[in-house]
Amino acid sequence: MAEQAFSPLATTQNDPSGLRSIASDFSSDRTAFRNVSWGKAMMWIFLLSDTFVFSSFLIAYMTARMSTTVLWPNASEVFALTIGGMTLPLILIAIMTFVLISSSGTMAMAVNFGYRRDRRKTATLMLLTAFLGATFVGMQAFEWTKLIHEGVRPWSNPWGAAQFGSTFFMITGFHGTHVTIGVIFLLIVARKVWRGDFDHERRGFFTSRKGRYEAVEIIGLYWHFVDLVWVFIFALFYLW
């Protein structure tokens, strides 16, 4: 019997190792996404990319604040409200933060009841989450209106460094857009849950396989990410 010729290339292709092995695992879905649906995997990838965007914005804000030679406005004074003759620093921001963090709790309960296939409680909790998110956006709109009325612009502000206005509107506006989009999708998925689309496998957007409430978990991932980002914005922009 003739001896079979040894081929390093053939050996590498049949038994991939190193970078070839990693590429093979990812492309064939054998390891990285073995127990994860594509919908959930794509949401994680989107959230990872969004993390880079928010990180860039916050790093730009910190760089602008530390490099400016002009006095940076005092957040306790800028974001204070006068209620009943008393000036309360950061009271609106504290309420906004409480509302948004509370919405994470209702969203987590919605996911829990979703996998129990209790569609009434799931839809109710999702609608409550959407209400809390809309309340947050409404308070943020009030905050923007107040600051614009007091003279804050993206290129200037009456309290000091001009970069304050541009970073404030950029960061809070980008985050507020995410919350608004989340509220819209919460309402869409909540309506589907309420109608029983996931139980009856009714065809349409965001309708998963019969008996699967994975869309609730996917929108939950997005919502928790938005809440987590706000914690960093709150700490760096309002408390620093």
Residue 157 domain boundaries: 36-238
Q: Are residues 51 and 87 in the same domain?
A: yes
Q: Are residues 30 and 100 in the same domain?
A: no
Residue 39 contacts residue 209 (beta carbons within 8 Å): no
Q: Are residues 216 and 108 in the same domain?
A: yes
Q: Are residues 16 and 127 in the same domain?
A: no
Total domain count for the chain? 2
pLDDT at position 79, please? 93
Q: Are residues 26 and 50 in the same domain?
A: no
Q: How far apart are CA 178 and CA 206, in angstroms?
A: 19
Q: Are residues 17 and 112 in the same domain?
A: no
pLDDT at position 213, please? 80
Per-residue pLDDT of the chain (240 residues; tens, 9 = 90+): 444 444 444 444 454 556 676 666 555 555 555 666 788 889 999 999 999 999 999 999 999 999 999 999 999 989 999 888 898 999 999 999 999 999 999 999 999 999 888 999 999 999 999 999 999 999 999 999 999 999 999 998 888 898 999 999 999 999 999 999 999 999 999 998 998 888 776 666 555 455 578 889 999 999 999 999 999 999 998 998
Q: Are residues 20 and 49 in the same domain?
A: no
Q: Are residues 158 and 173 in the same domain?
A: yes
Q: Are residues 29 and 42 in the same domain?
A: no
pLDDT at position 233, please? 96
Q: What is the CATH number of the domain that holds 111?
A: 1.20.120.80
Spatial neighbors of 54 by CB under 8 A, at least 6 apart, are 174, 175, 229, 232
Q: Are residues 8 and 85 in the same domain?
A: no
pLDDT at position 49, please? 96
Q: How far apart are CA 128 and CA 66, in angstroms?
A: 40
pLDDT at position 40, please? 87
Q: Are residues 193 and 234 in the same domain?
A: yes
Q: Are residues 8 and 49 in the same domain?
A: no
